[in-house]
Amino acid sequence: MEFAEYRRHDATALAALVREREVSALELLEIALARAMAVQSALQPLSLLEEGFGRAEIARGLPTGPFTGVPFLLKDLFAFLPGT
């Protein structure tokens, strides 16, 4: 799957592709990471990127749920620096 196809799907559709084994969770993660890195230098949207964490979780085995295998970002809701 290329990013152009990935972006046409919402999380529910991506999860269905993983369940149906049309794409793997690792493949989706790699697409998401590649896109994140492509925009990072220009926009700086990510303060921390733990690339290895997602790969390790997939290798360990993902829990079953409605969004199994769909990569996502977490927004930090706390401040590291005064005034942020």
Could you count the other beta carbons within 10 Å of the beta carbon of residue 57? 13
Among residues 56, 70, 77, 84, the alpha carbon closest in space to that of 15 is found at: 70
Q: Give percent above pLDDT 70 in the chain.
A: 90
Contact 69, 62 (CB under 8 A): yes
Q: Give percent above pLDDT 90 in the chain.
A: 69
- The pLDDT assigned to 51 comes to 85
Question: What is the pLDDT of the chain when averaged over all its residues?
Answer: 90
Among residues 75, 71, 74, 72, the alpha carbon closest in space to that of 29 is found at: 71
Return the SS3 of 12.
Answer: helix
8-34 pLDDT, tens digit per residue, is 999 999 999 999 999 999 999 999 999
pTM, whole model, 2 decimals? 0.82
- The pLDDT assigned to 44 comes to 83
What is the distance between the terminal CA atoms of the chain, rounded to a whole angstrom? 38
